[in-house]
Amino acid sequence: MSESFSVYSESESENIPAQPGLYAFFLNLVGPGNCGLRAGEHVSASNYTKIANNLDYRLQKLIPIFRKLELAGRVIESDKFGPLQRVFDFAGKETSPPLRAVTEIAATPSELESILVASKQTAFFLPPVYVGMTVDQTLGQRYRQHHAAYQSSTELNVFGSRLRSAGIAWTDLLFACVPIGPRDASEIALRFVEQQLHVIHPPLFSVK
Amino acid sequence: MANSNQQSANQFVDMEGEITYNFIRQGSFGSFRTEWSFPLEFFLLSFTAEDLQFLSLAKDLKPSKNLDFDMLLQRDIDEKRIIDEMEPYLVGKHSNGENPAEGAVFFPPILAAVVPVTDNDIDDYYENEEFYEGEREAGREWHGHFRVEYLLNQTVDAVPIQAFDNVTGNTKTLLVRRNPAILKMRLPKGNVGRGVKLVVIDGQHRLVTLRNLMESHKGLLNGMVLPVCVVYAPQCTKAAAEAHAKQQRIIPKIHEVFRRLFVDVNGTMRRVSGHFEHLLNDIAVETLTARKFCQAVIEKYGFNGLACVEWNEKNYKQSLDINQYYSVTSIGVITPLVEEYLENHYEYLMDFGGIEAELFKDNDDRRIQFQRLTFYQKPLMEVQIKKNLVPLLLKIFFETNPFKRICSAFDAEIAVLEAEAKGDGKQATTAADVRDFLLNYVPLPNVRKEDARMAESRLNAFKDAVRASITDNGKLEDPIANRVLFQKAIFEALHLFIRAIKKWNPKIDALADAYCALLNTALRDDSVLFSSSQPYMQYLVFNQKRLIVNAKARTSMTSLLLAQFATPGVARPIAELLNIGADTDTAHIELTKLGRERVRSLYESFCVRRRASFEKNYSADLSLGADKRQLLMELEEKKRADLARAERGEIDQAEISKKFDEEVALEIADDLMAARNSLQTTLSLDFTLVQDAAEISGSDADE
């Protein structure tokens, strides 16, 4: 038996199941739509520069969000004590790799368009930016709660406002969810699964 | 020796002048007078921040016998308004870190009255006026209060002023220059002494804001020079009052003059309202859309087109309605609808993805306040509005069939007026007047009664002719397209349509074509689907022929618009118009599903409301026999009693009598069937609408 999850964009959110379950937000970072191309439009000589600038903007602004780990700590010589013990304090801040301008890589409109199309298909190659579970609310209610926080909250311990402050559009997100039937919707079970997912690969915007 | 004595004497005279008047400023002079009004004169001056100390608030004066002046002038200073709005306006940011609308910052002139005081108590009048005239200059003085000095001027630009000498009784008309003129005032220090105070009539909050900022943000007002208009009533002197009293005429006291001015400035100035409230707001997306829409209408359809859009109604209530038969819409209708129904789609409609790099250049936070665009965001949004939103609205209101019909009827009657206007005589003049009223917003003649009557009559004939054309001389119902409730339904349906299809990111002109195709389908055959004669329209949208104006009726119209997708052959071509390539088939399926959901919802709503209407009105429905009505009343009473018993726990809920519900269902069965059949027929449904007993007795599915 194979199980599958359902995926919803912002415009499909009305269809999110009215059941409890587990969910994750993925980032649909780059694609024709969010770089300024409409359905049926193609990259051409007249819009090549504009589309390339939009793509550059997205990459340069958003990739550092995922490469900004900051570490601080202390390393101690464990086999020494007192004044003989050496102690090292260190702090490190990740730098993001230099990015080449898109126009250096995709010299022609068709190459640029290929990049956009291929990128759109790879949303699920990235780890989720947020993983959560809900028992008391339905998945639909929880989605709307996050959306409302994105639109109006200013508290930084709230997922929606952290997302917005990072410059990510709500329409850039894909909501993937696994509804859980009433018999299996135990808070203990869902909480455990959520925590394991956090341990294995901490989602970027999950803080707790 | 004699010369030095003379010089000394002159010096003493000069020193005395300087001491008498300790506030001397040069500015522009002017006067305000009509045949009937009490004359006022004013000086326009520039005040530095330090000069603000010379301005007083009315509450700073001693409460006196002139309590009414004091009370009127003393507005409670609204501290919250100062902190929340005015201080951030000057400082540059709100306390929570958001930026207010950027750009030019300006306070309009503060209006200050010259009020005579003795020991901080208001005097009734100024000192008596005296004047002098030299070779090049002239002056008037209210000794110990203030003095004005002018340069004489014999050119055509000279301002004539009436100078009085209250002591000798002489008067003279002086011809002076407005600019420069000098105002000298005696401002007592503190609360002691005689002189004048500059009491602020308009701008109290501005003054307090500025004073607060001088304390809290030292240096912020450096270099700032503020406009102040100082006003005085030159004829309010003791001598003038006594002279007029002898003739049993009254010269008002100073505080009465400025009380009137205060009331006029603060009380009778109307807030900009009606359509202008929208059109003068240029930092909100929906109001910018309204302005750009009107501009585009002129560019594409000329002034005939603009005349079909109501945009210059000042009355608030009327601005929310569509008042003219020949209007396709009103700014007061579409502006709030754009905000209510399209705001959630701005990101798609205005292609934020395409302008992201510029729109969010200086700000990481992606939240845009659509009703409060910044100086930087506004030009970007204007471009997107013009490219996307405006063409969508133009297509809806000028290129769908029902609106085209209204515009054609209007154009045809304008052509008749134009032809008449080219003729001779009174009829031609009247036709020209009415044409100018309709197209150029020139008021109809109202000086001569006969002209006014003829113009009014011709205008009414114009409107009647337009109506006759649209209704085919009364054979058709009045169009539903330019009813406000229907236009709300247009926007609600547009919102739902966009919600369904924007995941495929169609171009906006494709969206517009698709949506207009839907409207044309729904409103075909002179909008027969929305006719009050349709059984399903009764109780939902019409009560007999009268339109029901409420949210449920609007939702029903929205459902009927979208229900068109349930008609075989409608969804596919509209999906193709979206031009979304491989997703067309999916779009077709989803739009068909949307249409079916909506037609079911419409029918369910009809069932619920038909039932509710019957239960409310059966007791007075004489078409039911007396026995039937009696039976129904008894059954209803039984049901009510059972409900009460169930609430008290005396019986189980399952034991509540259902006889009343069953009897009602029998009575309305024919109506439900007629509604169902008419929906099936008019929409050519390829599935059967099912009547579910549980749905009939359930809650209204639309809410």
Instruction: Pick B351's closest partner by Cβ from A9, A36, A39.
Output: A36
Residues facing A179 on adjacent strands: A21
Measured between beta carbons, the chain B residues lying within 8 angstroms of A164 are 365-367
- Chain A residues with a Cβ under 8 Å from any Cβ in chain B: 9, 11-12, 14, 32-41, 50, 53-54, 56-58, 151, 154, 164-169, 171
- What local confidence, expressed as pLDDT, does residue B274 receive? 76
Token pair, residue B189, equals 């220090």
Contact yes or no for A166 and B364 at CB 8 A:
yes
Across B678-687, average pLDDT:
94
Cα–Cα distance measured from residue B183 to residue B197, given in angstroms and rounded to the nearest whole number: 14
Residue B412 — φ and ψ, nearest 5°? Answer: -65, -40
> Confidence band (pLDDT; 50, 70, 90) for B182?
very high
Contact yes or no for B507 and A50 at CB 8 A:
no
Measured between beta carbons, the chain A residues lying within 8 angstroms of B96 are 154
Residue B438 — φ and ψ, nearest 5°? Answer: -75, -40
Is pLDDT above 90 for B301? yes
Across A98-123, average pLDDT:
86
Q: Residue B697's CB: how many other CB atoms inside 10 A?
A: 14
Residue B580 — φ and ψ, nearest 5°? Answer: -115, 20
Across B185-194, average pLDDT:
88
Contact yes or no for A32 and B505 at CB 8 A:
yes
Size of chain A, expressed as the number of residues it contains: 208
| CB-based burial label for B133 (10 Å; 0-12, 13-18, 19+) | middle
Type of residue found at B581: G
- Closest by Cα among B299, B298, B300 to B311: B298
Contact yes or no for A50 and B352 at CB 8 A:
no
In whole angstroms, how far apart are CA B101 and each of B107, B356, B365?
A: 15, 20, 16
Minimal CA separation from A158 to chain B, in Å:
14
Tens digit of each residue's pLDDT (9 = 90 or more) over B486-498: 999 999 999 999 9
Token pair, residue B233, equals 């009533």
Is pLDDT above 80 for B2? no
Q: Where are the alpha helices (DSSP H) in A67-108?
A: 102-105
More confident: B645 or A69:
B645
Measured between beta carbons, the chain A residues lying within 8 angstroms of B505 are 32-33, 37-39
> Confidence band (pLDDT; 50, 70, 90) for B5?
low
Per the CB < 8 A criterion, the answer to whether A36 and B357 are in contact is: no
| CB-based burial label for B329 (10 Å; 0-12, 13-18, 19+) | buried
Q: Residue B177's CB: how many other CB atoms inside 10 A?
A: 17
- What local confidence, expressed as pLDDT, does residue B495 receive? 97
Contact yes or no for A38 and B503 at CB 8 A:
no
Strands (E), B539-604: 542-543, 546-547
Per the CB < 8 A criterion, the answer to whether B130 and B140 are in contact is: yes
Across B545-569, average pLDDT:
95
Minimal CA separation from A120 to chain B, in Å:
13
Angle at B478 between CA B474 and CA B480, to 5 degrees: 155
Measured between beta carbons, the chain A residues lying within 8 angstroms of B577 are none
Is pLDDT above 80 for B195? yes
Token pair, residue B108, equals 């309009």
Contact yes or no for B366 and A14 at CB 8 A:
no
- Closest by Cα among B418, B421, B417, B440 to B429: B421
Per the CB < 8 A criterion, the answer to whether B330 and B313 are in contact is: yes
Chain B residue closest in CA terms to A31: B353
Token pair, residue B333, equals 């209708």
Per the CB < 8 A criterion, the answer to whether B254 and B126 are in contact is: yes
Q: What value does the mean pLDDT of chain B take?
A: 85
In whole angstroms, how far apart are CA B361 and each of A154, B79, B346?
A: 20, 36, 19
pTM tops 0.80, yes or no: no
Minimal CA separation from B357 to chain A, in Å:
6
Per the CB < 8 A criterion, the answer to whether B212 and B122 are in contact is: no
> Confidence band (pLDDT; 50, 70, 90) for B85?
low
Cα–Cα distance measured from residue B639 to residue B661, given in angstroms and rounded to the nearest whole number: 9
Residue B203 — φ and ψ, nearest 5°? Answer: 120, 20
Minimal CA separation from A31 to chain B, in Å:
10
Token pair, residue B650, equals 């005396």
Chain A residue closest in CA terms to B508: A38
- What local confidence, expressed as pLDDT, does residue B231 receive? 94
Cα–Cα distance measured from residue A145 to residue A96, given in angstroms and rounded to the nearest whole number: 32
Across B105-130, average pLDDT:
88
Contact yes or no for A36 and B347 at CB 8 A:
no
Contact yes or no for B357 and A33 at CB 8 A:
no
| CB-based burial label for A77 (10 Å; 0-12, 13-18, 19+) | exposed
Rounded to the nearest angstrom, the gap between the alpha carbon of residue A40 and the centroid of all alpha carbons in its chain is 28
Is pLDDT above 70 for B105? no
> Confidence band (pLDDT; 50, 70, 90) for A94?
confident
B-interface mutation test, from A38, A43, A121, most B Cβ less than 10 A away: A38
> Confidence band (pLDDT; 50, 70, 90) for B649?
very high
Chain A residue closest in CA terms to B581: A40
In whole angstroms, how far apart are CA B95 and each of B98, B367, B449?
A: 7, 18, 60
- What local confidence, expressed as pLDDT, does residue B695 receive? 45
Tens digit of each residue's pLDDT (9 = 90 or more) over A167-186: 888 988 999 999 988 777 68
Angle at B405 between CA B404 and CA B410, to 5 degrees: 95
Lowest mean pLDDT among B48-52, B88-92, B188-192, B572-576: B88-92
Tens digit of each residue's pLDDT (9 = 90 or more) over B352-383: 888 887 787 666 667 788 988 877 788 889 99
> Confidence band (pLDDT; 50, 70, 90) for A191?
confident
Residues facing B195 on adjacent strands: B117
Is pLDDT above 80 for B90? no
Measured between beta carbons, the chain A residues lying within 8 angstroms of B348 are 11, 171
Contact yes or no for B356 and A11 at CB 8 A:
no
Minimal CA separation from B498 to chain A, in Å:
9
> Confidence band (pLDDT; 50, 70, 90) for B34?
low
Lowest mean pLDDT among A186-190, B479-483, B555-559: A186-190
Instruction: Pick B347's closest partner by Cβ from A9, A168, A169.
Output: A169
CB pairs under 8 A between A and B: 73
Which residue's entry shows tokens 């409103």? B523
> Confidence band (pLDDT; 50, 70, 90) for B68?
very low
Across B661-688, average pLDDT:
94
Minimal CA separation from A173 to chain B, in Å:
12
Side-chain half-sphere exposure of A139, counting CA atoms within 13 A: 28
Is pLDDT above 70 for A117? yes
Is pLDDT above 50 for A82? yes
Helix (H) or strand (E) run with residue A75 in it = strand A70-76
- What local confidence, expressed as pLDDT, does residue B524 receive? 92
> Confidence band (pLDDT; 50, 70, 90) for B73?
very low
Is pLDDT above 60 for B10? no
Contact yes or no for B505 and A166 at CB 8 A:
no
Which residue's entry shows tokens 């230099």? A98
